[in-house]
């Protein structure tokens, strides 16, 4: 059969189109589920930025889509150019005057520069700016083909992925998070010839490992997600897979009149474990509901990656939903397999529950002597003793029974030696609560055992009882002070003992629960509880500064500006709850019309007092007040001091700042009409004393000189 001659339109369609979609896919062994979404986003962002830096795409013309499954990472970027745009390259030579002689002929400097550029001096141009004039050679440089640049950009993007530990496989030099089996690199319809992680790139991808393992040819980059789903039984889009799982969980749970509890972290993890999700409703023996729900839920979520169901009142139902990665022809067999595994785990939990309750918590305390907390800080038992002392002191300060706090501290770590916590470490404290109630301990003591682990993470709930709050603070402060004392404070991104989280937990409890506790005093108490050899001088101040940095992050995340935080920090409040009230007062003050003028005045006061030296001005003599403006200011300051003292003592800082704002007319008048640094020493010192007295009123709240305009 004769071949048909291409038409004009046909010939045009074969030309290289200026902008085409780019697809990168890296096919691997099963990837770790938890970092999977982050890896995909990092790959997409890095690849996109690399293309932008190479001028192959722009912010206006391109966005990108990322795809992540257990066996692949992929990125699609539309509107990627076939080549870089041409550019004008400018090379600067000698000064213009040195390049030409008086006759306008090129000098040796100009001739040599022209020769190095491969042109005649006549091709040289003049470059002039405010610094002078130079000889310059400009030439047009053609853009490089995208197919030449993209392999390097891809390689760099893969190297930048946040992979803490890379692995090698076979005898290859490539390193990645998991062994790589295939790679796709398409620009429109064209394959970019390159080698990625020791694998030649092509247009061949692979579907589901079990259902559609054969290779799939991709014609264009745009085909990727649709063809992979229809022909490969792989839903490449992470969010699409996640949405499908969520919807099925809701449908299946309604069949049993319940609601699936969807923990977002678990949903992300399950989504990262499957390419073709098939949720399956299963059940367990209702007799297991006689056990506490926490170990049952921990088993279903933590061990089996299943979703549990609850009724309208939040009570656990004897059902769960597992998510399979295959569309089975025998669903009953899959369901039975999941139920069999769950049953065995639940039997273990029942054994631990029945066995643990035979030994009271208080009888386990001695066993903590054999559990090392830190080789320089002793055993967990030693820690318990330190926490007992500190918890009792904190309880007394917040009006809680100190003996109850010490009892809760004594028992707080005992459940670490129980079989249940040994099997389910995430239940420490929770099981201690159950076992304490079984032992006949007071309900508040039992609750404090569980609550002293709160908050467990950023944004987590706080202890709801004062006893739990006292114990939670004591436990964390003992850990922070002890680890600092042994020289293992956090550095950079390393914080193996979670001290940043512990510090923020202490601060949140004090601030959000309104506990008027002086953190510096408690740090000193914790420091004195350490072995004498570890009582390092200056440690308390170092830890206070560390905690204030955590407090800075806490407020910045809440939208508080850094200068407001610095203004309050300059006064180094000892009580975090007091710090919070000062900070809110400064924020309210800043919104007043008088704020800008008084902030400027405070800066002038600080500067003037620094010029005055280190003298202590603590007394204003009325007899030395000469100018009417300074007399009026002195009268107002004295009157305000009497009115403000009870407000400061009560922590009513917002009201106090409103009162101080009323000083603006007298302050403005003083700085307009009065010269402070006069020759008469007595008058000068008296005026400095007046300014010091004024400044000290503001410093009862914050150092307003730290505020920006």
Going by pLDDT thresholds of 50, 70 and 90, the confidence category of residue 585 is very high
Residues 107 and 47 reside in one and the same domain: no
Domain that holds residue 453: 372-559
In a domain, 3, yes or no: no
Higher pLDDT, 14 or 461: 461
Averaged pLDDT, 347-361: 97
Going by pLDDT thresholds of 50, 70 and 90, the confidence category of residue 261 is very high
Residues 135 and 151 reside in one and the same domain: no
For 171-182, the pLDDT digits (tens) are 888 999 999 999
Residues 515 and 388 reside in one and the same domain: yes
Cα–Cα distance measured from residue 145 to residue 152, given in angstroms and rounded to the nearest whole number:
12
Q: Does residue 675 have a pLDDT over 80? A: yes
Cα–Cα distance measured from residue 367 to residue 364, given in angstroms and rounded to the nearest whole number:
5
Q: Which of 6-20, 413-427, 588-602 is least confident?
A: 6-20
Q: pTM of the full predicted structure?
A: 0.80
Residues 531 and 515 reside in one and the same domain: yes
In a domain, 6, yes or no: no
Is 471 exposed, middle or buried, given 0-12, 13-18 or 19+ CB atoms closer than 10 A? buried
Give the closest residue to 23 by CA, choosing from 192, 212, 226: 192
Max mean pLDDT among 118-122, 172-176, 182-186, 603-607 falls in 182-186
In a domain, 97, yes or no: yes
**Which residue reads 């050899």 in tokens?**
533
CATH assignment at residue 699: 1.10.730.10
Cα–Cα distance measured from residue 157 to residue 67, given in angstroms and rounded to the nearest whole number:
15
- Rg of the chain over CA atoms, in angstroms? 36
Residues contacting residue 396 through CB under 8 Å, at least 6 positions apart: 402
Averaged pLDDT, 594-612: 80
pLDDT at 616: 56
In a domain, 244, yes or no: no
Long-range contacts, stretch 552-557, CB < 8 angstroms, 24+ apart: 553/504, 554/504, 554/507, 554/508, 555/583
Provide, rounded to the nearest whole percent, the portion of the chain with pLDDT above 70: 96
Residues 485 and 526 reside in one and the same domain: yes
How many domains is the chain partitioned into structurally? 5
In a domain, 543, yes or no: yes
Boundary-marking domain end, from 326, 356, 386: 356
Give the closest residue to 70 by CA, choosing from 40, 25, 23, 36: 36
Averaged pLDDT, 198-221: 95
How many CA atoms lie less than 13 Å away from 280 in the CB half-sphere? Answer: 24
Contact 57, 164 (CB under 8 A): no
**Which residue reads 């690849």 in tokens?**
47
Q: Does residue 17 have a pLDDT over 80? A: no
For 370-380, the pLDDT digits (tens) are 999 999 999 99
pLDDT at 6: 39
Which residues does residue 216 pair with via DSSP β-bridges, in sequence order?
205
Higher pLDDT, 126 or 45: 45
Residues 61 and 108 reside in one and the same domain: no
Higher pLDDT, 566 or 117: 566
In a domain, 5, yes or no: no
For 19-41, the pLDDT digits (tens) are 899 999 999 999 999 999 999 99
For 651-662, the pLDDT digits (tens) are 899 898 888 888
Q: Which two tokens stand for residue 576?
A: 């975090």
Cα–Cα distance measured from residue 664 to residue 593, given in angstroms and rounded to the nearest whole number:
10
Residues 60 and 194 reside in one and the same domain: yes
Residues 455 and 538 reside in one and the same domain: yes
Boundary-marking domain end, from 203, 232, 261: 232
pLDDT at 614: 52
Going by pLDDT thresholds of 50, 70 and 90, the confidence category of residue 3 is very low
Q: Does residue 319 have a pLDDT over 50? A: yes
Cα–Cα distance measured from residue 111 to residue 349, given in angstroms and rounded to the nearest whole number:
89
pLDDT at 10: 35
pLDDT at 618: 64
Helix 628-649 vs helix 681-699: angle between axes, to the nearest 10 degrees? 30
In a domain, 363, yes or no: no
Higher pLDDT, 191 or 634: 191
How large is the greatest C-alpha to C-alpha distance in the chain, in angstroms? 120
For 454-468, the pLDDT digits (tens) are 999 888 999 999 999
Provide, rounded to the nearest whole percent, the portion of the chain with pLDDT above 90: 68
Does the N-terminal peptide bond of residue 574 adopt cis geometry, omega within 30 degrees of 0? Answer: no
Going by pLDDT thresholds of 50, 70 and 90, the confidence category of residue 279 is very high
Residues 154 and 126 reside in one and the same domain: no
Boundary-marking domain end, from 295, 321, 356: 356
Average pLDDT, the chain: 91
For 449-508, the pLDDT digits (tens) are 999 999 998 889 999 999 999 999 999 999 999 999 999 999 888 999 999 999 999 999
Calculate the CA 448 to chain-centre distance.
29
Residues 594 and 684 reside in one and the same domain: yes
Cα–Cα distance measured from residue 474 to residue 387, given in angstroms and rounded to the nearest whole number:
6
Averaged pLDDT, 226-242: 97
Cα–Cα distance measured from residue 432 to residue 450, given in angstroms and rounded to the nearest whole number:
7
Q: Provide DSSP, 241-306.
A: HHHHHHHHHHHHHHTTT-EE---HHHHHHHHTT-SS-EEEEEE--GGGGGS-HHHHHHIIIIIT--
pLDDT at 15: 36
Q: Does residue 709 have a pLDDT over 50? A: yes
Give the closest residue to 349 by CA, choosing from 305, 410, 284: 284
Q: What angle do CA 159, 192, 75 make, to 5 degrees?
A: 50
Q: Does residue 2 have a pLDDT over 70? A: no
Residues contacting residue 136 through CB under 8 Å, at least 6 positions apart: 90, 91, 92, 93, 124, 125, 126, 127
Residues 312 and 195 reside in one and the same domain: no
Averaged pLDDT, 675-694: 83
pLDDT at 11: 33
Work out the number of other CB atoms within 10 angstroms of the CB of residue 308: 23
Averaged pLDDT, 284-304: 96
Q: Does residue 83 have a pLDDT over 50? A: yes
Instruction: Give me the helices (H) in 14-86, please.
Output: 36-53
Cα–Cα distance measured from residue 548 to residue 542, given in angstroms and rounded to the nearest whole number:
10
pLDDT at 617: 61
Work out the number of other CB atoms within 10 angstroms of the CB of residue 564: 22
pLDDT at 16: 38
Residues 163 and 77 reside in one and the same domain: yes
In a domain, 570, yes or no: no
Q: Does residue 388 have a pLDDT over 60? A: yes
Going by pLDDT thresholds of 50, 70 and 90, the confidence category of residue 5 is very low
């Amino acid at each position: 059969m004769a071949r048909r001659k291409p038409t004009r339109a046909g010939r045009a369609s074969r030309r290289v189109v200026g902008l085409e979609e780019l697809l990168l896919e890296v096919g691997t062994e099963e990837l770790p589920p938890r970092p999977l979404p982050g890896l995909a986003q990092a790959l997409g962002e890095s690849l996109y930025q690399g293309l932008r830096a190479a001028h192959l795409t722009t912010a206006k013309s391109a966005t990108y889509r990322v795809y992540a499954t257990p066996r692949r990472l992929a990125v699609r970027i539309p509107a990627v150019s076939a080549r870089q745009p041409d550019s004008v390259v400018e090379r600067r030579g000698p000064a213009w005057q040195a390049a030409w002689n008086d006759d306008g002929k090129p000098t040796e400097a100009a001739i040599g520069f022209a020769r190095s550029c491969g042109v005649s001096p006549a091709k040289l141009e003049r470059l002039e700016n405010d610094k002078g004039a130079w000889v310059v050679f400009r030439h047009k440089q053609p853009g490089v083909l995208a197919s030449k640049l993209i392999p390097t950009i891809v390689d760099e993007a893969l190297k930048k992925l946040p992979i803490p530990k890379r692995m090698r496989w076979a005898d290859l030099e490539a390193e990645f998070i998991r062994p790589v089996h295939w790679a796709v690199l398409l620009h429109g319809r064209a394959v970019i010839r390159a080698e990625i992680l020791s694998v030649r790139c092509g247009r061949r991808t692979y579907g589901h490992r079990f259902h559609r393992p054969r290779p799939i040819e991709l014609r264009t980059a745009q085909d990727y997600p649709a063809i992979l789903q229809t022909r490969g039984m792989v839903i490449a889009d992470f969010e699409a897979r996640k949405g499908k799982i969520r919807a099925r969980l809701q449908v299946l749970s309604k069949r049993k009149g319940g609601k699936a509890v969807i923990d977002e972290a678990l949903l992300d993890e399950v989504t990262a474990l499957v390419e073709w999700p098939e949720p399956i409703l299963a059940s367990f023996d209702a007799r297991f509901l006689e056990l506490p729900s926490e170990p049952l839920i921990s088993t279903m979520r933590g061990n089996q990656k299943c979703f549990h169901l609850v009724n309208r009142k939040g009570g656990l139902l004897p059902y769960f939903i597992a998510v399979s990665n295959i569309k089975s022809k025998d669903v009953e067999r899959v369901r039975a397999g999941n139920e069999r595994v769950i049953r065995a785990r639940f039997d273990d939990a029942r054994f631990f529950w029945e066995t643990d309750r035979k030994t009271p918590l208080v009888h386990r305390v001695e066993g903590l002597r054999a559990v090392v907390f830190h080789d320089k800080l002793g055993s967990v038992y030693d820690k318990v003793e330190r926490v007992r002392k500190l918890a009792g002191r904190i309880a007394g300060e917040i009006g809680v029974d100190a003996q109850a706090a010490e009892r809760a501290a004594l028992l707080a770590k005992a459940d670490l030696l129980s079989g249940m916590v040994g099997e389910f470490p995430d239940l420490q404290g929770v099981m201690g609560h159950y076992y304490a109630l079984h032992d006949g301990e007071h309900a508040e003591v039992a609750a404090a055992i569980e609550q002293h682990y709160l908050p467990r993470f950023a944004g987590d709930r706080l202890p709801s009882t004062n006893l739990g709050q006292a114990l939670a603070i004591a436990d964390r402060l003992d850990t922070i002070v002890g680890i600092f004392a042994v020289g293992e404070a956090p550095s950079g991104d390393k914080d193996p003992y979670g001290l940043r989280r512990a510090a923020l937990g202490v601060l949140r409890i004090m601030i959000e629960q309104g506990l008027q506790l002086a953190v510096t005093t408690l740090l000193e108490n914790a420091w004195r509880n350490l072995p004498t050899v570890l009582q390092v001088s200056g440690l308390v101040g170092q830890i206070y500064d560390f905690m204030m940095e955590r407090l800075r992050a806490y407020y910045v995340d809440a939208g508080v500006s850094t200068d407001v935080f610095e203004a309050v920090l300059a006064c180094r409040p000892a009580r975090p709850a007091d710090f919070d009230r000062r900070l809110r007062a400064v924020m309210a003050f800043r919104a007043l019309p008088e704020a800008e003028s008084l902030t400027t005045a405070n800066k002038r006061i600080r500067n003037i007092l620094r010029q005055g030296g280190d003298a202590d001005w603590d007394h204003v003599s009325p007899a030395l007040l000469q100018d009417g403006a300074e007399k009026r200011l002195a009268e107002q300051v004295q009157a305000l001091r009497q009115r403000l003292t009870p407000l400061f003592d009560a922590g009513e800082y917002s009201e106090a700042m409103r009162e101080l704002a009323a000083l603006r007319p007298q302050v403005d008048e003083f700085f307009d009409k009065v010269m402070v640094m006069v020759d008469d020493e007595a008058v000068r010192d008296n005026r400095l004393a007046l300014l010091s007295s004024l400044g000290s009123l503001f410093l009862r709240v914050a150092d307003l000189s730290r505020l920006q305009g």
